[in-house]
Structure 1
């Protein structure tokens, strides 16, 4: 039986949660450029030297916010999928809808994950890879389910051997039974989701498109669904 957390551990957990909350508030107000550990300290009612026991630098704060955003996005996707049926296309459309809704509700957090890289910052893969690949895994799983039907999705022979090897490695890592061709389509569909949502969110399609909100994203998500779960 695991021992109950100590009062000190619980207090630290509450403080870390508050640091993430304050960091997200800074992000929403001022973007990445406005992130400040000193401001976090003020929000906590601490001197700067005290808060550095919890978050040692702005880079560490960024990592906390990135992990929190990935986990929140994955939770939004899981919630939407829980209300979807078992049919792969329906599940992909639900996943894409959840991603677009989350992005439009929290554009600054989406930008932190999929926007311009922060100069001088490199996310630690050992901390961010697991939360950052949760949604990608869902797309791979949906594609694998669709490929078990009667309609083949593609030929692995069309892929360069090194690409097939990489995709096979990731399928093994995620414990998903599928071939490399299916994985290639899944990765393309996922990349397409990130791309169309980002293009909309960052105004790359113009103000008229921005005004349409999710209405302009839905048909694009339908087209991407054709890659892994054709009608």
Structure 2
């Protein structure tokens, strides 16, 4: 935590800039984000804001990092309160991502929606927070595999040397000892989970197609649990 009055004041101003940036993100969208507008709402001249945030892209990066961490914190908190059952924990991750996305649709859209024209997120700042939920899923996959809870495929899963190399890098990055067939299933679970959330948040089903979208999402979770290799049992 900042230890001097000047440091505390700077930290507070940065927090205010990010807060106002989030408000503009929700009302105007990422493409229309403007430091001048943020300065106006902050009650200072635009040149004062540039002492803290040098460009719109830098503000976007702050919002991206904070968004990934907010989602990661929500998932971590939910898992901390969940029994040590991999199938149940997989469902909890999905439900938590969906709940966060519905509560923060603009923020979710910045992270997982249409890319902002002209903005390229810096990997050195965004990759680590951006993989927090993926890392949680990977740990669930590994836990289920080590416990012998997953049914292996009846046919061998073969991948190209290039993809096998990618899988090996993932093993190293996430310290996960798992076979290729689990990675192939896990990729589908990961992308399908976020795809289902995006369909809901971005109203891609059509506004009146389903009366209870929460129940629809539970059906998705049923299939994802089965796909990873668990028996189909709701928890």
If the length of structure 2 is used for normalisation, what is the TM-score? 0.90
Q: Secondary structure at the match of 1:208?
A: coil
Kept in 2: contact 1:164–1:180 (CA 8 A): yes
How many residue pairs match? The answer is 229
Residue 65 of structure 1 corresponds to which residue in structure 2? 63
- Residue 50 of structure 2 is matched in structure 1 by 52
SS of the residue aligned with 1:33?
helix
1:43 counterpart = 2:41 = yes
Deviation of the 1:186 alpha carbon: 1.8
Task: Trace 1:10-89 onto structure 2 (pairs within 5 A).
Answer: 10-89=8-87
- 1:163 CA drift (Å): 1.1
1:96-115 correspondence runs (5 A) = 96-115=94-113
Q: What is the deviation of 1:99? A: 0.4
RMSD of aligned residue pairs (Cα, Å): 1.9
* Alignment match, 1:148: 146
State the Cα deviation string for residues 128-147 of structure 1 (Å, max 9, x = none). 00000000011111011111
Aligned to 2:199: 199
Q: Secondary structure at the match of 1:158?
A: coil
Q: Is the 8 A contact 1:146 1:229 kept in 2?
A: no
Does structure 1 retain, via aligned residues, the 8 Å contact 2:157–2:180?
Answer: no
Q: Which residue of 1 aligns with 2:6?
A: 8
Moved more, 24-33 or 201-210: 201-210
CA–CA separation in structure 2 for the residues paired with 1:77 and 1:18: 25
Gaps of 5+ in 2: none
Distance 1:12 1:153, change over 3 A: farther
Name the structure 1 match of 2:223.
Answer: 223
- Give the distance between the partners of 1:46 and 1:4, measured in 2 at CA: 23
Call closer, same or farther: CA 1:138–1:229 in 2, change over 3 Å: farther
1:170 and 2:170 correspond? yes
On the 8 A contact 1:23/1:61 being kept in 2, the answer is yes
| 3-state SS of 2:208 partner | helix
Q: Residues 211, 50 of structure 1: CA spacing in aligned structure 2 closer, same or farther, 3 A cutoff? A: farther
TM score, norm. by length of structure 1: 0.92
